[in-house]
Amino acid sequence: SLEAEIRRAVSNAIQRVNGVGKMTVKVGKEYVGSGNYSELCLLTSQLLKKQKGRCALTGQPFETRSAAEGGLQEDRMSLDRIDNCLGYSDGNVQLVTQFANRARGQMPVQEARRRLIQYAEP
């Protein structure tokens, strides 16, 4: 369901805030000013409506099915911080596909959008 997909995407962002996951030399990152789980679920729901269910960088519709249901995981929703120096908060989050979020990395939003859609078919 769409609500389950929102909870999954927010949980992934919260895990990054809390440093949950694989242990590396540095675990987690400090995202100052990030909202809590409930705040981010509400924000994500609002952004999903505002963005009409599409990636802010590519315009691709989000995949809402799990891999078990035949969904393409690269097209699932991901919370992207517009300014990577700031946390997951209202005004600093856009919804993008998992692929677009990884492809963007530390690039400015406009540059990432330009690169991601430069070869789009008409």
Q: For 8-37, write each residue's pLDDT tens digit.
A: 888 888 887 776 555 554 444 567 778 888
Q: Which helix (H) or strand (E) holds 96?
A: strand 93-97
* CA dist., res. 96 & res. 48, Å (int): 10
Assigned CATH for 2-117: 3.30.40.220
- Place 120 in a pLDDT band, splitting at 50, 70 and 90: low
Question: Who's near 44: CB < 8 A, 6+ residues apart?
Answer: 6, 9, 10, 77, 79, 93, 95
Per residue in 84-104, pLDDT (tens digit) is: 889 999 999 999 999 999 989
* Helix (H), strand (E) at residue 78: strand 77-81
- Model confidence, pTM: 0.75
